[in-house]
Amino acid sequence: LRQNDDWGQALGDGWQEELAALDIEIVVDEVFAMDVTDLTTVVTKLVDKNPDVVLNACYFQSMSLLTQTMAGVGYEPKAMLCSSSGETDNDFIPTVGNNADGFFTVSGWGEDVLASMPDKAWIGEEYIERNNGEHYTAESAAGWAAAMVICESLEAAGSDDAEAINTAMRALEIPEDSWWNIYPYPISFNQETGKNENAIPVMGQFQDTKIKLIYPESIAVEGTELVFPGYELSPVYKNR
């Protein structure tokens, strides 16, 4: 399931290619507009085909509508894998409540990361204090890390020359236990592409109106369990 824009098309093409390589059958393939107002037909197809996994790339409005429509007909996918978009919007959980419980989402970061790093908890606490109670998000974490990488690069370059800074940045080796690194992996950059090849996805699951991080295991809060259809936290179970 995906939006009918360049982002949705790119994801859809990638999914189809990878799933074909794994010999996995696609039983439902739906594309819809950002301003869609009715997803009943889409959900009906999901109920009818009962796929093992639903891959989903929706912005906030359509993600909320999809979630509420599924809950309205009592449909709960075996696994809903979302693409770090509409479901990560700050208004998503207040809009859908428990109806998203059990959904999976992937992002670069989540607050439970800081919970696994008690010596860095002050970073999130100070952010909340300075931003009128607003909590750290994946976007906040990326902004913090980007600023700190620039600071490290400026210091290493010893110059404000752009080329010198770029060279210094690509040579950085920031360990996971650096005082400011709030990611569960080291930060360093490929000399040719400039990408941090140590980066791994952070996977979370909606549980009782919160996103609980489940992967990598090093950042999962002790006692966190996966929620699947029929589990007491699942939306369908709660609505019985």
* For residues 10-20, average pLDDT: 94
Is 53's pLDDT higher than 90? yes
* For residues 111-127, average pLDDT: 88
Q: What is the pTM of this model?
A: 0.76
DSSP 51: -
Is 48's pLDDT higher than 90? yes
| Residue 89 confidence (pLDDT) | 86
pLDDT band, residue 230 (cuts 50/70/90): low
Is 14's pLDDT higher than 80? yes
Is 237's pLDDT higher than 70? no
Of 197, 171, 170, the closest CA to residue 186 belongs to 197
Could you give the percent of the chain with pLDDT greater than 70?
95
Hey, CA dihedral for 77, 31, 203, 23, is it positive or negative?
A: positive
Of 54, 108, 55, 60, the closest CA to residue 87 belongs to 60
| Residue 20 confidence (pLDDT) | 95
Pairing of strands 2-3, 31-32: parallel
Backbone angles phi, psi at 153, to 5 degrees: -70, -40
pLDDT: which is higher, 217 or 64? 64
In the chain, % helix, strand, coil (3-state, to 5) comes to 45, 15, 45
* For residues 160-180, average pLDDT: 94
Q: Taking all residues of the chain, what is their mean pLDDT, rounded to a whole number?
A: 89
pLDDT band, residue 231 (cuts 50/70/90): low
Is 232's pLDDT higher than 60? no
Of 107-116, 136-145, 175-184, least confident by mean pLDDT is 107-116
